[in-house]
Amino acid sequence: MKLIVLVVLIILALAGAGLYYFGRSLWVPVSQKVVGRRTVAAAVQQFAPVAEQRLAPYFNESGIPFPPNQITLIGLKEEKRLELWAENNGRWVLVKTYEIRRASGKAGPKLVEGDEQVPEG
């Protein structure tokens, strides 16, 4: 009896993992209808205070007033690095570099959604 329960649990776990991974196009729209879509404004309201507190010292070190007028994020796939640049009086300054510890896909452009490629640029 215990063996049957264990086998059933393993099958259910594998089926759930398969649905989560391969059935995204099925469950994401349903989830968004039930929970609702999160807006950019809601995400900013949630994360801005902590992000500002964490980022402000890097801008101060770079001599850039915080918050900056413009920022640019540059993802360098081969170097596994994300760079945060900010504009100050027409001059772009590197504010912070983030090491990318793990990435999916391989070198080359993202072609379609779900191809596990990281977008370039």
Mean pLDDT for the chain overall: 87
The model carries a pTM of: 0.60
Domains held by the chain: number: 2
For residues 33 and 58, membership in a common domain is answered with no
For residues 101 and 57, membership in a common domain is answered with yes
Nearest 5°: phi and psi at 91? -115, 130
Report the C-alpha gap between 14 and 69 in whole angstroms. 48
Domain region containing 25: 1-37
Residue 104, Cα to own-chain centre: how many angstroms?
Answer: 12
Q: Is residue 118 classed exposed, middle or buried when 0-12, 13-18 and 19+ CB atoms within 10 A define those classes?
A: middle
Q: What is the DSSP letter of 105?
A: S
- 74, part of any domain: yes
For residues 101 and 62, membership in a common domain is answered with yes
Residue 57: pLDDT over 90:
yes
Query: Tens digits of per-residue pLDDT, 15-32?
Result: 988 888 888 788 788 888
Query: Higher-confidence residue: 110 or 59?
Result: 59
- Sheet with 91-99, strands from edge to edge, namely 70-76, 81-88, 91-99
For residues 16 and 60, membership in a common domain is answered with no
For residues 58 and 102, membership in a common domain is answered with yes
- 113, part of any domain: no
- 119, part of any domain: no
